[in-house]
Amino acid sequence: MKKFLIVAALLSAAPAYALGPDTGERPRHLINQLKEGTLKEKLLSCQGQEQTPSKFSIGHRGAPFAYPEHTEQSYRAAGAMGAGIIECDVTFTKNGDLVCRHSQKDLHTSTNIVVSDLGSKCTTPFEGGSNGGNAQAECRTSDLTTEEFLSLKGKKDGANKTATTAEEYLKEAEPNGTLLTHKQSIALIDSLGADFTPELKSPAVSMPFGGMSQEDYAQKMIDEYKAAGISPDRVWPQSFNFKDIEYWIKNEPEFAKQAVFLDARYRKGIDPQDPGTFYPDMAELKAKGLNYLAPPLWMLVTVQDDKIVPSAYAVEAKKAGLKLITWTLERSGPLEKNKGGWYYQSIADLVENDGATYELLHVLAQDVGVVGVFSDWPETVTYYANCFGLK
């Protein structure tokens, strides 16, 4: 396998990071875990091939398997691993500027804010637990000005809830990632030659915020691509809120052609194996103007005769003419420890080890027919995409 030149790509970013798993080692590990058969033979045959970027491979928050999510370093790593599309989750600061964070209220777990001079500005400043338990903090992007936000350092997401000090709360994660505004992410991702999939997040405070309504927020995100001269066909705007999708369909039809509805209706009782629970159903979503639907991995597959097969949800979506994207590969940790956890719940009985990553990906690509896969380590998906000729 030809190694991506990630080290060279990262040299221009400061501070530097060690890559974590060596480039090329992750796909090799997964392939070695596969059972003997045609899939393993095919993937082995592609070792040494030239790896090129693929839009089938989507960098989920960059490459957070080894880098602090939504940081310059994470995005550069994703681009170097061939992610053809890279995600910025879009939230806003106190003065209404858009920035890249997974949540409006995750600065306490994803940055160094609790040990910085800005910790006192948090909605809930850090408070250590008594006798090592129940440590608390809540720090929102809207607690800070944009300048203050950019002064923070990103870290691997997580917190030590038993901490008695702010330093312990960081959970031994080194905070040295460079945070970005949404505009900065556009410039960076464009320079990497990748496309964009910004996700409009739900604010932690009721709208309007600083005079900005939900519609203003949705429009401002699109406007920043327009201002940067980015063609709509390079942007896949996302939201879990279908009202955002409807807003773009009505007001930004060119960008809405690739708008992605992130489907979390499993929280409302949807059963991927029972079309009677699909509300609205797939045909209705398509009639509303939706083209791209993105559920989690497990909603698209089930087990039949000891094989992974498409779910009724996947079949109905395809029948309605909806294109499918899914999330999130490489986010479950070692699969043999927990049978794949939440993301593999519909096929848990077939999960034996990390080889299930490529077994699932193969079914998603060839049988379900997804057009893109979010991954915390894009190289895994890029390797598969190159091996099977998926652009």
**Residue 361 main-chain phi, psi, to 5 deg:** -60, -40
Bridge partners (DSSP) of residue 1 are none
Tell me what the pLDDT averaged over the chain comes to. 93
Residue with tokens 């000090």: 165
Structure-token pair, residue 305: 């005769």
The pLDDT assigned to 5 comes to: 39
pLDDT tens per residue, range 299-334: 999 999 999 999 999 999 999 999 999 999 999 999
Residue 8, pLDDT > 80, answer no
Supply 19's token pair: 């890559």
CB 31 within 8 A of CB 40: yes
* pLDDT tens figures, 269-299: 999 999 999 999 999 999 999 999 999 999 9
User: Which residues on neighbouring strands pair with residue 327, listed in sequence order?
Assistant: 296
pLDDT single digits (tens) 323-377: 999 999 999 999 999 999 999 999 999 999 999 999 999 999 999 999 999 999 9
Tokens 């773009």 appear where? 248
pLDDT of residue 10: 38
Task: Render pLDDT for 110-143 as a digit per residue (tens, 0 to 9).
Answer: 999 999 999 999 999 999 987 657 899 999 999 9
CATH of domain 6-95+181-387: 3.20.20.190
Alpha helices in the chain (DSSP H): 6-11, 25-33, 38-45, 72-80, 107-110, 146-150, 166-169, 182-191, 214-227, 242-251, 253-256, 282-287, 312-319, 335-338, 356-363, 379-387
What does the CA dihedral 328, 332, 338, 340 come to, rounded to 10 degrees?
Answer: 30
- CA distances to 106, 204, 367 from 81, rounded to whole Å, are 26, 33, 25
Asked if residue 43 has pLDDT above 60, the reply is: yes
Where does residue 99 rank: exposed (0-12), middle (13-18), buried (19+ CB within 10 A)? buried
- DSSP-based helix, strand, coil % in the chain, nearest 5: 40, 20, 40
153-193 tens-digit pLDDT: 999 999 999 999 999 999 888 899 999 999 999 999 999 99
> Do 34 and 43 form a contact (C-beta atoms < 8 A)?
yes
Please list, in sequence order, all residues whose beta carbon lies within 8 angstroms of the beta carbon of residue 6, skipping any fewer than 6 positions away.
19, 23, 77, 80, 81
* Tokens 């989750």 found at: 89
Residue 21 in this model has a pLDDT that exceeds 70: no
For residue 3, pLDDT beyond 50: no
Percent of the chain having pLDDT more than 90? 88
Average pLDDT over residues 186-209: 95
CB contact burial 105-133 (16+ within 10 A = b; e otherwise): bbbbbbbbbbbbebbebbeebbebbeeee
Nearest C-alpha neighbor of 233 from the set 387, 377, 361, 84? 84
DSSP 22: P
Helices (runs of H) and strands (runs of E) counted in the chain:
16, 15
Dist. CA 240–CA 201, nearest whole Å: 8
CA dihedral 20, 1, 196, 371 (to 10 degrees): -120
Question: Could you please report the per-residue DSSP string of 41-86?
Answer: HHHHHTTTPPP--EEEEEETTS-TTTS-TTBHHHHHHHHHTTEEEE
Q: Where are the domains of the chain?
A: 6-95+181-387, 104-169
Q: What is the spatial distance between Cα 115 and Cα 126, in angstroms, rounded to a whole number? A: 9
Evaluate the omega torsion of the peptide bond into residue 68 and state whether it is cis, within 30 degrees of 0: no
Transcribe 164-217 into DSSP letters.
SSHHHHTTT----EEB-BHHHHHHHHHHTT-EEEEEEPPPSSPSPBTTB-HHHH
Residue-level pLDDT at 131: 65
Q: Cβ contacts of residue 270 below 8 Å, gap of 6+?
A: 263, 277, 278, 279, 313
* Per-residue pLDDT at 132: 59
pLDDT bracket for residue 4 (50, 70, 90)? very low
> Distance (Å, rounded) from C-alpha 300 to C-alpha 149?
38
Q: pLDDT band for position 19 (50/70/90)?
A: very low
What is residue 23's predicted lDDT score, i.e. its pLDDT?
59
